[in-house]
Chain A
Amino acid sequence: MHIEIDEIAKTFGATTALHPVSLPIPSGALVALLGPSGSGKTTLLRILGGLEFPTSGRVLFDGQDATGLSVQDRRAGFVFQSYALFKHMTVFENIAYGLRARPRRSRPPEAEIERRVTKLLELIQLPQIAGRFPNQLSGGQRQRVALARALAIEPRMLLLDEPFGALDARVRKELRHGLREIHDTTGLTTVFVTHDQDEAMELADLVVVMSMGKIEQVGRPQDIRARPATPFVREFIAA
């Protein structure tokens, strides 16, 4: 799905989190929002997901205004930094949650839910953990379960907030490839937030460098490396 961010601004009381920013995200792209903390990248992601409402501006999905669309109706697969798994539910129940939460007329039958959850567990290469609880999983497994849970609702896009932030270096590398593969298999427009420029450069098709609520530069990783547009970008990617 093509996403169009049109002059989006967000203020929290007296602080401005986002100056008006505009950004087209082509259908099927894997995009990194890269910046230090306080750059507004997470706010932008949350606005895309419908968790925040912009002070001004519009969000267009495939050309249609989606600014006022409720979270529930966006069908944006959202992976939280803390993963926000439901601790009292098994992995299976976590992944099946979105399907079971549907109104009866669009809810798949139990057998179909089971088939889909099994398939997703295979996709994240954890077929044997369906019966476990989140606190019995490793950090990397939790991240993948959160991803599978987001994919279960057949999202129109995938939004990830610091998806590798809580993991140690080795697992982080491994899961980067995992995310790339899942993106390539599903073909979903994917936006992830990170403060780690290596991660952004290695993984993304398109990197959006942000600072102080503004977009500093948008470009392919090699172009940003080769031609940083502002002093901030030069310094940030050199770090």
Chain B
Amino acid sequence: MALAMFRAQKSPMPGFGLGMGITLTMLSLIVILPVGALLAQGASYGPAGVWSTVNTPRVWAALYLSFRLAFIAAVFNLIFGTLLAWVLARYEFPGRRMVDAVVDLPFALPTAVAGIALTALYAPNGVFGGLAKSMGQKIAYTEWGILIALIFVGLPFVTRTVQPVIAEIEKEVEEASATLGAGRYYTLRRVILPMLLPAALTGFALSLARAVGEYGSVIFIAGNLPMKTEIAPLLIVIKLEEFDYDGAAAIGIAMLLISFTMLLVINLIQIWSRRRIGHV
């Protein structure tokens, strides 16, 4: 039945049935059925039930915290990631290849490892945490700690989406701007940055989506105080530990809706930019 939905046009290439069969079976088993089960749980709980779970101060506080900090972290990564992409794509300096590889470390390093490492670093007895303490500040177990963890996990997204776009910019476009009388700074602001914007926004959305759902690197450094430093994914874990499957599903659905919205935004950005400038 599903195969009929995705019927191929006549093609001499073999393997459509097998390939599509494997794809749809796996997709169903791993992604569609579980997500369906989540939605079904929410449906049986009813919209009123979902709403009553979500509409409590503690859940609102957690969602608001997750969102606000994920957004700030994504903005930081948008700016720093674009700068990083520019430096890596345009400048020659010793060790550039190494630095380029290091950018991907947050993708490769398990989140739990990142979590305990950041906590050790930013706790009051850690290197940076101690520094902050001597200035009367606290980083770990506050919002600042969560923010740092979210910046860490989202760091590579913008750089990795923007870097190839920089590499493809024609030098002639920059030269044209200069021959028209524009200084370098004007060229960067009016010509180059707008060309990078669609890719940068895609990276921003990916970084945001990742940060909203992030769990492993955050729970160690967050302190997890209800209403203060408790993130939304942690609430799901807590509900599950209390065997409150309805409650967990309600928050899960709320987060899923948020993720879908962001996925939609990413796609819209890409369609918009393709229409305007003919490439992503």
Q: Which residues in A have some Cβ–Cβ distance to B below 8 Å? A: 49-51, 71-78, 80-82, 84-89, 97-98, 101-102, 133, 135, 149-150, 152-153
Lowest 6 CB-CB distances: which A-B pairs, in order?
A: A98-B180, A135-B278, A101-B182, A84-B172, A84-B176, A78-B179
Bound together, the chains give a CA A78 to CA B179 distance in angstroms of 6
B-chain residues with CB within 8 Å of residue A81 when the two chains form the complex: 172
A76 with B179: CB separation less than 8 A: yes
Binds A, one of B25-33, B183-191, B232-240: B183-191
B181 with A82: CB separation less than 8 A: no
Closest chain-B Cβ to A92's Cβ sits at a distance in Å of: 14
B180 with A80: CB separation less than 8 A: no
10 new A-B contacts, CB < 8 A, other than A71-B179, A87-B278, A101-B180, are A85-B176, A86-B176, A87-B277, A88-B276, A97-B177, A98-B181, A101-B177, A102-B181, A153-B180, A153-B181
A-chain residues with CB within 8 Å of residue B180 when the two chains form the complex: 97-98, 101, 149-150, 152-153
Q: A80 is contacted by which of B176, B190, B191 (Cβ under 8 Å)?
A: B176
Q: Does B194 contact A (CB under 8 A)?
A: yes
B-chain residues with CB within 8 Å of residue A49 when the two chains form the complex: 179
Q: Does B39 contact A (CB under 8 A)?
A: no
A-chain residues with CB within 8 Å of residue B191 when the two chains form the complex: 86
Closest chain-A Cβ to B180's Cβ sits at a distance in Å of: 3
> Chain A CB within 10 Å — which of B178, B181, B191 has the most?
B181
How many A-B pairs have beta carbons closer than 8 Å: the answer is 74
A-chain residues with CB within 8 Å of residue B277 when the two chains form the complex: 87-88, 133, 135
B181 with A51: CB separation less than 8 A: no
Q: Does B195 contact A (CB under 8 A)?
A: yes
B-chain residues with CB within 8 Å of residue A97 when the two chains form the complex: 177, 180, 182, 190
Bound together, the chains give a CA A89 to CA B276 distance in angstroms of 9
A-chain residues with CB within 8 Å of residue B195 when the two chains form the complex: 87-88
Q: Does B244 contact A (CB under 8 A)?
A: no
A80 with B175: CB separation less than 8 A: yes
What are 30 pairs between A and B in contact, CB < 8 Å? A50-B179, A51-B175, A51-B179, A71-B178, A72-B178, A72-B181, A72-B183, A73-B181, A74-B179, A75-B181, A80-B176, A82-B170, A84-B170, A84-B172, A84-B173, A84-B176, A85-B173, A86-B173, A86-B177, A87-B277, A87-B278, A88-B194, A88-B197, A89-B194, A97-B177, A97-B190, A101-B190, A135-B278, A150-B180, A153-B181
